[in-house]
Amino acid sequence: MTDTAHVDSFVRDHLPPPEQWPEFLFPLPELQYPARLNCGVELLDRMVAAGQGERPCLRAPGLVWSYAETLSRANRIARLLTEEMGVVPGNRVLLHAPNTPWLAACWLAVMKAGAVAVTTMPLLRAGELEKVVRKAEIRHALCDARLAPELEKCRQRVPELANVVLFGTEAADGLEARIAGRSDDFSNCPTAATDPALLAFTSGTTGVPKACVHFHRDVLAMCDSFSKHIVQPRPDDLFSGSPPLGFTFGLGGLLCFPLRVGASTLLLEQGSPPRLAEAIERFRVTCLFTAPTAYRAMLGLVGAQDFGSLRRCVSAGEALPKPTWEAFHRATGIRLIDGIGATEMIHIFISAADEEIRPGATGKPVPGYVATVLDENFEECPPGVPGRLAVKGPTGCRYLADPRQSEYVQRGWNITGDTYVRDEDGYFFHRARSDDMIISAGYNIAGPEVEVALLTHPAVAECGVVGVPDPERGQIVKAFVVLAAGHRPGAELVKELQEHVKATIAPYKYPRAISFVPELPRTATGKLQRYRLRELAREEA
Ligand code: 3UK
């Protein structure tokens, strides 16, 4: 591995040994990348050189930066990083901000400088930031001034994080002031296609977070597989959505996919369903990226807000329940694009669009990827038999210095930790996270299947289903239900919901216990935290 532009070899030195890497596949012409490749250059300089300079690139309410203006800012930030902050290729740069054009420009600058971006969720607290800074040995940070207090607390605990520059401030030592006088050209770092470009921390629930290493080529591969073949964006598209750029779902959908084709992106600091719905109407968003629960919540706003501009709507992060797909389709005529992605894979690898969509299925392997369902002995499960989802393609899992590498990657396959079933036509259906399967009186029950059944009842706004210990049955199925407006909790409704599930799916799967709750516990990326529901159930017992 001499073919690198990294001067600081920390990330490369802490990659897993080659025999623990997944197998990589590049089966399409668009996935053949040259040995030297800088994804920031491909996404930005290349577009300006191709005559896109005057077209809109980054937007926020009240602001539009063209491709040329974005390039000018990214170049001046790259100069600040390399000329003044002392960043050298391979150094990690922490980026901490809500989704804004400045954050996007900083990310592009980090790429162009050959540094390694570590973008964190804006909601992280000092203690969580500390784990990231220690694990990735970070000395440099660019941070939104509004989030400075939390980062400052972190810096006091890790003094190695010496070099913090704030943006979104008029202060004389702020980023805007410090780039103002700089020349707006920059000599881009000639990174290798296999030089690390980013560390993506997983939204793991406990313990030390895992950092996934992704190369410059991986950033382009997510654009040239899922986006090119399933989203099929056009230069006149306007992308928007809720996932933070610190979550690779957001990095792809809200930054890289639009820039790869010369389209524009509307970055929103607040991506709650009402804000999103408002922005869709006001800015005429065409491609939307958000979570299944947000699509369900937006159903209630369909009459009040005009969604007529939407052309592509991508749902990921959790399973998209069939009732949500159907209700959204009835209300808007839009066929939601479900897709399973993972931080380890950088983006979506099973999905479908348009007429290929089968509501209730995640889809088929995205062009560039192969996927299968394996049993404990690594034998392929026949159609109809659930097993472990396994996938390979142009991207894959490489944890930074982590023994858990050999759990995620086995025999060249990325094992995502999901239980899936295939049908005869090759469609993949999500059952549950493998650790979330409920075993009750000898039956295997997938929590999400019970959730789907409950969601078809009008009283249910949201729900989460888990297994709780039971002396007789091993586990019983327990549902936590958030009621829709106008419905009241009570023994009668419990009975009604139980009967409803028994009439919808095999009766043995019905929830023997139901609790009504005001809201469900979710991660910063919007995922239901089933382990917290299990804790809650234990506390109640
Ligand atoms: C689950 C899904 C069913 C699944 C992600 C799109 O979610 C992303 O990454 P994470 O690392 O979580 C990965 C896990 O989330 N999951 C995601 N999408 C679906 N389950 N249907 C889906 N459509 O358990 C997976 O293993 O947080 C999603 C793009 C980039 C991402 N990082």
Taking only the tens place, the pLDDT of each residue in 10-19 is 999 999 999 9
CB of 360 within 6 A of ligand 1: the answer is no
Is residue 188 within 8 Å of residue 46, measured between CB atoms? Answer: no
Q: What percent of the chain has pLDDT over 70?
A: 99
Atom of ligand 1 nearest to the CA of 315: 23
Is residue 449 within 8 Å of residue 431, measured between CB atoms? Answer: yes
Residues 378 and 467 in one domain: no
CB of 436 within 6 A of ligand 1: the answer is no
User: Which backbone phi and psi does 218 adopt, to 5 degrees?
Assistant: -65, -35
> What DSSP element (H or E) covers 289?
strand 287-290
**pLDDT at position 5, please?**
98
DSSP collapsed to 3 states, 375-435 = CCCCCECCCCCCEEEEEEECCCCCECCCCCHHHHEECCEEEEEEEEEECCCCCEEEEEEHH
- Please, what is the average pLDDT of the chain? 96
- Whether residue 293 has pLDDT greater than 90: yes
- Mean predicted confidence (pLDDT) in 159-181: 96
Domain boundary (435, 462, 482) is at 435
- Mean predicted confidence (pLDDT) in 260-268: 98
- Mean predicted confidence (pLDDT) in 17-29: 97
Tokens at 13, concatenated: 């030195």
Length reported for the chain: 541
Does 382 map to a domain?
yes
Burial class (CB in 10 A: 0-12, 13-18, 19+), 408: buried
What DSSP letter does each residue of 77-142 carry, written as one string? HHHIIIIIS---TT-EEEEE-SS-HHHHHHHHHHHHTT-EEEEE-TT--HHHHHHHHHHTT--EEE
Between CA 288 and CA 233 the distance in angstroms is 11
Taking only the tens place, the pLDDT of each residue in 366-385 is 999 999 999 999 999 999 99
**pLDDT at position 503, please?**
94
- Whether residue 540 has pLDDT greater than 70: yes
CB of 347 within 6 A of ligand 1: the answer is yes
Domain boundary (410, 435, 460) is at 435
**pLDDT at position 21, please?**
98
Ligand 1 center–CA 74 separation, angstroms: 30
Residues 457 and 524 in one domain: yes
- Whether residue 123 has pLDDT greater than 60: yes
CB of 218 within 6 A of ligand 1: the answer is no
**pLDDT at position 121, please?**
93
Ligand 1 center–CA 247 separation, angstroms: 10
CB of 200 within 6 A of ligand 1: the answer is no
Ligand 1 center–CA 303 separation, angstroms: 30
CB of 38 within 6 A of ligand 1: the answer is no
**pLDDT at position 98, please?**
98
CB of 318 within 6 A of ligand 1: the answer is yes
Residues 259 and 403 in one domain: yes
Residues 353 and 493 in one domain: no
CB of 324 within 6 A of ligand 1: the answer is no
> Alpha helix locations (H) across 188-335?
216-222, 248-251, 257-260, 273-283, 292-298, 322-332
Does 275 map to a domain?
yes
- Whether residue 180 has pLDDT greater than 70: yes
Handedness of CA 446, 448, 452, 458 (dihedral sign): positive
Does 243 map to a domain?
yes
> What DSSP element (H or E) covers 437?
strand 437-440
Nearest CA to ligand 1 atom 17: 317
Atom of ligand 1 nearest to the CA of 200: 32
- Mean predicted confidence (pLDDT) in 201-211: 78
Residues 414 and 456 in one domain: no
Residues 464 and 527 in one domain: yes
Taking only the tens place, the pLDDT of each residue in 496-534 is 999 999 999 999 999 999 999 999 999 888 899 999 999
Is residue 257 within 8 Å of residue 232, measured between CB atoms? Answer: no
Nearest CA to ligand 1 atom 12: 342
CB of 433 within 6 A of ligand 1: the answer is yes
Tokens at 190, concatenated: 């000639």
DSSP collapsed to 3 states, 54-70 = CCEEEEECCEEEEHHHH
Between CA 106 and CA 73 the distance in angstroms is 8
pLDDT range class, residue 442, cuts 50, 70, 90 = confident
Pick from 218, 343, 351, 428 the residue to mutate for probing ligand 1's pocket: most ligand atoms within 8 Å of its CB.
343
DSSP 308: T
- Mean predicted confidence (pLDDT) in 287-316: 95
91-96-102-105 Cα dihedral, nearest 10 degrees: 30
Residues 407 and 263 in one domain: yes
> What DSSP element (H or E) covers 348?
strand 348-351
The domain that holds 525 is classified in CATH as 3.30.300.30
Does 212 map to a domain?
no
CB of 203 within 6 A of ligand 1: the answer is yes
Closest CA to 535 of 525, 208, 517: 517
Ligand 1 center–CA 150 separation, angstroms: 28
Residues 421 and 513 in one domain: no
**Residues 6+ positions from 360 with CB-CB distance below 8 Å:** 322, 325, 429, 452
Domain boundary (435, 451, 473) is at 435
Ligand 1 center–CA 198 separation, angstroms: 18
Residues 249 and 285 in one domain: yes
- Whether residue 72 has pLDDT greater than 90: yes
- Whether residue 205 has pLDDT greater than 60: no
Does 185 map to a domain?
no
Atom of ligand 1 nearest to the CA of 433: 24
- Mean predicted confidence (pLDDT) in 293-308: 93
Ligand 1 center–CA 340 separation, angstroms: 5
| 3-state SS, residue 446 | strand
- Whether residue 203 has pLDDT greater than 80: no
**pLDDT at position 541, please?**
79
pLDDT range class, residue 204, cuts 50, 70, 90 = low
Nearest CA to ligand 1 atom 2: 318
Does 452 map to a domain?
yes
What is the pTM (predicted TM-score) of this model?
0.95
Residues 427 and 455 in one domain: no
**pLDDT at position 2, please?**
61
CB of 317 within 6 A of ligand 1: the answer is yes
Residues 406 and 448 in one domain: no
What DSSP letter does each residue of 458-511 carry, written as one string? TTEEEEEEEEEEETTTEEEEEEEEEEPTT---SHHHHHHHHHHHHHHS-GGGS-
DSSP collapsed to 3 states, 183-198 = CCCCCCCCCECCCEEE
Does 276 map to a domain?
yes
Burial class (CB in 10 A: 0-12, 13-18, 19+), 217: buried
- Mean predicted confidence (pLDDT) in 438-455: 92
Residues 338 and 422 in one domain: yes
Pick from 296, 340, 364, 407 the residue to mutate for probing ligand 1's pocket: most ligand atoms within 8 Å of its CB.
340
Burial readout 75-108 (b: 16 or more C-beta within 10 A, e: otherwise): bbbbbbbbeebebebbbbbbbbbbbbbbbbbbbb
Does 53 map to a domain?
no
- Whether residue 206 has pLDDT greater than 70: no
Which residues constitute the domain of residue 525?
A: 440-540
What is the number of structural domains in the chain?
2
pLDDT range class, residue 193, cuts 50, 70, 90 = very high
Between CA 139 and CA 8 the distance in angstroms is 12
**pLDDT at position 526, please?**
85
CB of 319 within 6 A of ligand 1: the answer is yes
Nearest CA to ligand 1 atom 3: 319
- Mean predicted confidence (pLDDT) in 180-197: 97
Pick from 289, 318, 369, 413 the residue to mutate for probing ligand 1's pocket: most ligand atoms within 8 Å of its CB.
318
Is residue 42 within 8 Å of residue 220, measured between CB atoms? Answer: yes
Nearest CA to ligand 1 atom 8: 342
- Whether residue 329 has pLDDT greater than 70: yes
Nearest CA to ligand 1 atom 10: 342
Is residue 39 within 8 Å of residue 115, measured between CB atoms? Answer: no
